[in-house]
Structure 1
Amino acid sequence: MMSASSDSSMASSSPENAAQAGHPPEPKFNSIEQSGTKWQTPSIYENLTVLPTAGAFGQVCSALNSLTDREVAIKKLSRPFQSNMDAKRTCREVSLLTYMRHENVISLVDVFSPDLSEDNFRELYIVTQLAGTDLNRIVKTRSLELENSHVQFIAYQIFRGLKYIHSAGIIHRDLKPANIAITEDCSAKIIDFGLARLADSDSMTGYVSTRWYRAPEILANWTHYNHTSDVWSVGCIIAEMITRQPLFPGHDHIDQLKKNLQLIGIPDQEFIDKLALPAAQRFFEGLPRYERTKVSNIHGLEDADERVIDLLEKIFVIDTGSRINVGAALAHPYFSDYHDPDDEPVAEHPFEEKYLLDLDKIQPKNQCEYLRKKVREQVLAWRADNPYNAMKKPQDYNLEDKSRSS
Structure 2
Amino acid sequence: MAVRARTGYYRQEVNRTAWEVPERYRDLKQVGTGAYGTVCSAWDRRMGTQVAIKKLHRPFQSKLFAKRAYRELRLLKHMKHENVIGLLDVFTAEIALDRLRDFYLVMPFMGTDLGKLMKMERLSEDRVQFLVYQMLRGLKYIHSAGIIHRDLKPGNLAINPDCELKILDFGLARQADTEMTGYVVTRWYRAPEVILNWMHYTQTGKPSSHFVSTGMEEKKAKRPRFTTRELTLFSLVAVDIWSAGCIMAEMLLGKPLFKGSDHLDQLREIMKITGTPAADFVVKLQSQDAKNYIRSLPKVPKKDLHSLFSKASSNAVCVLEKMLLLDPERRVSASEALDLPFFSEYREAEEETEALPYDQTMDNTDLPLDQWKRHTFTEILTFRPPRDSRETSL
Structures share fold, TM-score greater than 0.5: yes
User: Which residue of structure 1 aligns with residue 55 of structure 2?
Assistant: 76
User: Which residue of structure 1 aligns with residue 167 of structure 2?
Assistant: 190
1:275 aligns with 2:285: yes
Q: 1:209 to 1:106 in 2, by over 3 A?
A: farther
Deviation at 1:116, TM superposition (A): 4.3
1:152 aligns with 2:160: no
Deviation at 1:353, TM superposition (A): 1.9
- Unpaired runs of 5+ in structure 1? 15-26, 198-202, 392-396
Q: Can you list the C-alpha shifts for 1:39-81, whole angstroms capped at 9, x where unaligned?
A: 2222221100111x32222111100011221110011111323
TM alignment of 1:90-109, pairs within 5 A: 90-109=69-88
User: Which residue of structure 1 aligns with residue 214 of structure 2?
Assistant: none
User: Which residue of structure 1 aligns with residue 363 of structure 2?
Assistant: 356
Q: 1:89 to 1:261 in 2, by over 3 A?
A: farther
User: Which residue of structure 2 aligns with residue 22 of structure 1?
Assistant: none
1:317 aligns with 2:325: yes
1:249 aligns with 2:269: no
Deviation at 1:230, TM superposition (A): 0.7
TM alignment of 1:162-311, pairs within 5 A: 162-195=139-172, 210-221=186-197, 223=226, 224=231, 225=234, 226-298=236-308, 301-311=309-319
Contact conserved, 2:114 with 2:159, CA < 8 A, in 1? yes
Deviation at 1:181, TM superposition (A): 1.1
Q: Can you list the C-alpha shifts for 1:75-115, whole angstroms capped at 9, x where unaligned?
A: 11113233333223212211111111111111101112222
Deviation at 1:117, TM superposition (A): 2.0
Q: 1:249 to 1:85 in 2, by over 3 A?
A: farther
Which TM-score applies when normalising by structure 2? 0.83
User: Which residue of structure 2 aligns with residue 331 of structure 1?
Assistant: 339
**3-state SS of 1:271 partner:** helix
Contact conserved, 2:88 with 2:389, CA < 8 A, in 1? no
Deviation at 1:403, TM superposition (A): 6.7
Contact conserved, 1:195 with 1:209, CA < 8 A, in 2? no
Deviation at 1:6, TM superposition (A): 8.0
Cα RMSD for the two superposed structures: 2.6
Q: Percent identity?
A: 40
User: Which residue of structure 2 aligns with residue 378 of structure 1?
Assistant: 379
Q: 1:85 to 1:220 in 2, by over 3 A?
A: farther
Q: Which amino acid aligns with 1:287?
A: L
For 2:318 and 2:300, locate their aligned partners in 1 and report how far apart those are by CA, in whole Å.
21
Structure with more relative contact order (C-alpha pairs < 8 Å, separation 6 or more): 2
**3-state SS of 1:39 partner:** strand
1:65 aligns with 2:65: no
Q: Where has structure 1 moved over 6 Å in runs of 4 or more?
A: none
**3-state SS of 2:99 partner:** coil
Q: Which amino acid aligns with 2:311?
A: D
For 1:329 and 1:94, locate their aligned partners in 2 and report how far apart those are by CA, in whole Å.
30
Q: Can you list the C-alpha shifts for 1:285-341, whole angstroms capped at 9, x where unaligned?
A: 23222321122343xx22211111111011111111111111110000111112232
**3-state SS of 2:347 partner:** coil
Q: 1:209 to 1:342 in 2, by over 3 A?
A: farther
Deviation at 1:209, TM superposition (A): 8.8
User: Which residue of structure 2 aligns with residue 18 of structure 1?
Assistant: none
Q: Which amino acid aligns with 2:251?
A: M
Q: Can you list the C-alpha shifts for 1:159-202, whole angstroms capped at 9, x where unaligned?
A: 011111111111111111111111111111111112599xxxxx
Aligned length: 354
TM alignment of 1:8-87, pairs within 5 A: 8=4, 13-14=6-7, 27-28=8-9, 30-51=10-31, 53-87=32-66
Contact conserved, 1:170 with 1:196, CA < 8 A, in 2? no
Which TM-score applies when normalising by structure 1? 0.80
